[in-house]
Structure 1
Amino acid sequence: MAVIKSKTQPKKLWGRFEIDASIPAADNIFDIPLFEKYLHDRIKINGIAGKLGTDVIITRNKNTLKITSKVDMSKRYMKYLTKKFLKKNQLRDWIRVVADNKGSYQLKYYNINQEVTA
Structure 2
Amino acid sequence: MAKAHRRSPVSGRVAGGKKGAAAKPVKVKFTVDCQKPVDDNIIEAKGLERFLQTHIKVNGKCNNLGDRVQVSREKAKVFVTAELPFSKRYIKYLTKKYLKKQMLRDFMRVVSSRDTVYELRYFQMPQEDDETAAA
Deviation at 1:4, TM superposition (A): 8.2
Q: Percent identity?
A: 39
Cα distance in 1 for residues equivalent to 2:57 and 2:20: 34
CA RMSD of aligned residues (A): 2.1
Where does the alignment leave 5 or more consecutive residues of structure 1 unmatched?
none
Q: 1:56 aligns with which of 58, 69, 81?
A: 69
- Equivalent in the alignment of 2:10: none
Query: Relative contact order, CA 8 A, sep 6+: which one is greater?
Result: 1
Q: Which amino acid aligns with 2:120?
A: L
Instruction: Give the total of aligned pairs.
Output: 111
After superposition, what is the alpha-carbon deviation per residue over 1:3-47, rounded to whole angstroms, capped at 9, x for unaligned?
988xxxx8431x210000000000000111111110000000000
Cα distance in 2 for residues equivalent to 1:18 and 1:69: 12
Deviation at 1:114, TM superposition (A): 4.1
Cα distance in 2 for residues equivalent to 1:91 and 1:55: 31
Cα distance in 1 for residues equivalent to 2:114 and 2:128: 29
Cα distance in 2 for residues equivalent to 1:42 and 1:3: 35
Greater C-alpha radius of gyration: 2
- Equivalent in the alignment of 1:93: 106
- Equivalent in the alignment of 2:36: 23
Q: 1:44 to 1:30 in 2, by over 3 A?
A: same
- Equivalent in the alignment of 1:69: 82
Cα distance in 2 for residues equivalent to 1:41 and 1:47: 13
Cα distance in 2 for residues equivalent to 1:3 and 1:93: 49
Q: Which amino acid aligns with 2:66?
A: G
Cα distance in 2 for residues equivalent to 1:26 and 1:83: 19
Q: 2:57 aligns with which of 30, 38, 44?
A: 44
